[in-house]
Amino acid sequence: MNLTELNLTELRTALRQGKTSSVAATQAMLDRIVEQDNEIKSYLTVTDEMALEQAAEADKRIANGEESPLLGVPIAVKDIIAAKGAPTTAGSKILEGFIPPYDAFVVERLKEAGAVILGKTNTDEFAMGSSTENSGYFTTHNPWDLTRVPGGSSGGSAAAVAAKMAYAALGTDTGGSVRQPASFCGVVGLRPTYGRISRWGVVAFASSLDQVGMFGRTVADTTALFQAATGYDRRDSTSLDVPVEDFEVALTGDIKGLRVGVPAEYFIEGIEAEVETAVRAAIAQLEKLGAEIRPISLPHTRYALPVYYLIAPAEASANLARYDGVRYGPRVEGADMIASVKQTRALFGPEVKRRIMLGTYALSAGYYDAYYGRALKVRTLIKNDFKAAFQQVDVIACPTCPTTAFKIGERADDPLNMYLADIFTLSLNLSAGCGLSVPCGFDSKGLPIGLQLIGDTLQEATILNTAYAYEQTIERRKQLPDNGKL
């Protein structure tokens, strides 16, 4: 049995049937990492010893007849999420060597479900970026074309799943950081409703937008991870205390009568022609499956980018005040306390410094009302756009990104151009819904394209089932890089 070729769902069955063991699957992933990751560079830390111990434990639980949902399944975790005993750097030098003494809620949940943690994946520093080029350590390469970015900020997790170095992975999505890299790497990426997954133990970037999300090779794989990760947590005051339905059972593939909205504002000038063609073809496919396609409008879409780049940096400037060399991570000693704090904070990379300055400015007395206050008002208008749209439709379908993966270095010195990579994903974070990206084809360079499906608050079951129905119409194996080299 070629263990790296199995997806999560297939592995789960093989484990239950005793056809393989968690130790064997974990070892297969670790071998694959040794083989591939010196080029792709998706992992910041591989926790091989801990992983094999967890796998041996899972094998015992399987032998005892336990049927926990992720029992024995090896996964990867974005390095912005705390995992006990493993370094958690958030991709930043300011947290180099920081080992959290506890697991994030989501890691705790996945461990309880029996998952094996292979390691921590690369990210743009504090999740600020769209390419992993802002990581304080190194850039991750796209498994489809090593000269290109995997997207970001959860680029390490997306690349690890695409290159079969994990069966699934966790990321975070504050403005698109799960959906955009999923699109660039040809995997499925889900951004659940804000509050669906506790942020306890997740390094804060912009607290009103941050949400843990997940990557899988297929919709079913992604759903399995989501199912295990969601649930109420009293330690996060924004955690939603709502019933958790059976999302796996909801994957029926039946979307007859589903009302799918296509927003005019997401097919704009600047979008690559091949992306538009592929996304429109995917929408036509949904129609063939029985969905009813309707044109809709989200009129305030064009304000999403400026609003996001006021709110996110404002919240970040407050959240990142805690890195002072006293509480976490390294400390650079200066002549006095002020000098120590200053020199320690010089460990932040240029993008993080830019955001702290932007955010501090937007929040400062005299500018607060003009910038931050106004951004909050426009955020409400964007939320209302979605509310109105979901009166008419069940799901919104559009591109995840205007382009396919760009070259490493191409946008690195051009922050505005980099920010445009998230133009279609940001609005969702500013509203209250959920969204995902599912592969829907390739451009002429062989790079993956993503279809974004957006749902109303807590409507994950609907978007996952829509993606599942669509996915059944495409050949899944072709959706992962397999060019002989990988």
For the annotated catalytic residues, the residue numbers are 78, 153, 177
C-beta closer to ligand GLN: residue 27 or 360: 360
Q: What is the DSSP letter of 406?
A: P
Which of positions 20-49 make contact with ligand GLN (CB under 6 A)? Answer: none
Asked if residue 149 lies in contact with residue 132, where contact means CB atoms within 8 angstroms, the answer is: yes
Does 436 contact ligand GLN by CB under 6 A?
no
Rounded distance between C-alpha atoms, residue 161 and residue 432, angstroms: 27
Exactly one of 87, 114, 156, 176 binds ligand GLN (CB under 6 A); that residue is: 176
Least distance in angstroms from the C-beta of 175 to ligand GLN: 3
Asked if residue 357 lies in contact with residue 309, where contact means CB atoms within 8 angstroms, the answer is: no
Exactly one of 312, 352, 405, 467 binds ligand GLN (CB under 6 A); that residue is: 312
Least distance in angstroms from the C-beta of 411 to ligand GLN: 11
C-beta closer to ligand GLN: residue 129 or 156: 129
- Dihedral of CA atoms 436, 228, 128, 342 in degrees, nearest 10, equals 170
Is the previous residue joined to 153 through a cis bond, with omega within 30 degrees of 0? yes
Least distance in angstroms from the C-beta of 151 to ligand GLN: 9
Q: Tell me the two tokens of residue 125.
A: 């520093």
Least distance in angstroms from the C-beta of 312 to ligand GLN: 5
Helix (H) or strand (E) run with residue 98 in it: none
Rounded distance between C-alpha atoms, residue 471 and residue 262, angstroms: 19
Q: Tell me the two tokens of residue 17.
A: 């049937």
Cα distances (angstroms) measured from residue 229 to each of 70, 170, 213: 10, 10, 9
- Dihedral of CA atoms 356, 182, 39, 414 in degrees, nearest 10, equals -40
Task: Tell me how many residues contact ligand GLN (CB under 6 A).
Answer: 14
Backbone phi and psi for residue 474, each to the nearest 5 degrees, phi listed first: -115, 160
Site string for ligand GLN, 341-380 (x = CB under 6 A): ----------------------------------------
Does 310 contact ligand GLN by CB under 6 A?
no
- Of 51, 33, 135, the closest CA to residue 90 belongs to 135
Rounded distance between C-alpha atoms, residue 241 and residue 246, angstroms: 16
C-beta closer to ligand GLN: residue 244 or 357: 357
Rounded distance between C-alpha atoms, residue 130 and residue 422, angstroms: 7
Q: What is the DSSP letter of 457?
A: T
C-beta closer to ligand GLN: residue 107 or 421: 421
Least distance in angstroms from the C-beta of 136 to ligand GLN: 15
Which of positions 97-156 make contact with ligand GLN (CB under 6 A)? Answer: 127-130, 153
Site string for ligand GLN, 217-256 (x = CB under 6 A): ----------------------------------------
Q: Segment contacting ligand GLN (CB under 6 A): 43-51, 155-163, 168-176, 394-402?
A: 168-176
Exactly one of 47, 139, 177, 319 binds ligand GLN (CB under 6 A); that residue is: 177
Does 173 contact ligand GLN by CB under 6 A?
yes
Q: Tell me the two tokens of residue 413.
A: 């010195």
Q: Segment contacting ligand GLN (CB under 6 A): 172-180, 217-225, 256-264, 469-477?
A: 172-180
Least distance in angstroms from the C-beta of 434 to ligand GLN: 14
C-beta closer to ligand GLN: residue 210 or 394: 210
C-beta closer to ligand GLN: residue 59 or 422: 422
Q: Tell me the two tokens of residue 33.
A: 């990492």
Strand partners, 4: none
Q: Give Cβ neighbours of residue 339 (< 8 Å, ≥ 6 apart).
A: none
Per DSSP, the residues of 281-305 read: HHHHHHHHTT-EEEEE--TTGGGHH
Helix (H) or strand (E) run with residue 12 in it: helix 8-16
Exactly one of 221, 233, 422, 460 binds ligand GLN (CB under 6 A); that residue is: 422
Exactly one of 132, 174, 437, 479 binds ligand GLN (CB under 6 A); that residue is: 174
Rounded distance between C-alpha atoms, residue 421 and residue 382, angstroms: 19
Site string for ligand GLN, 269-308 (x = CB under 6 A): ----------------------------------------
C-beta closer to ligand GLN: residue 212 or 282: 212
- Of 458, 429, 433, the closest CA to residue 206 belongs to 429
C-beta closer to ligand GLN: residue 126 or 167: 126
Residues that bind ligand GLN (CB under 6 A): 127-130, 153, 172-177, 205, 312, 422
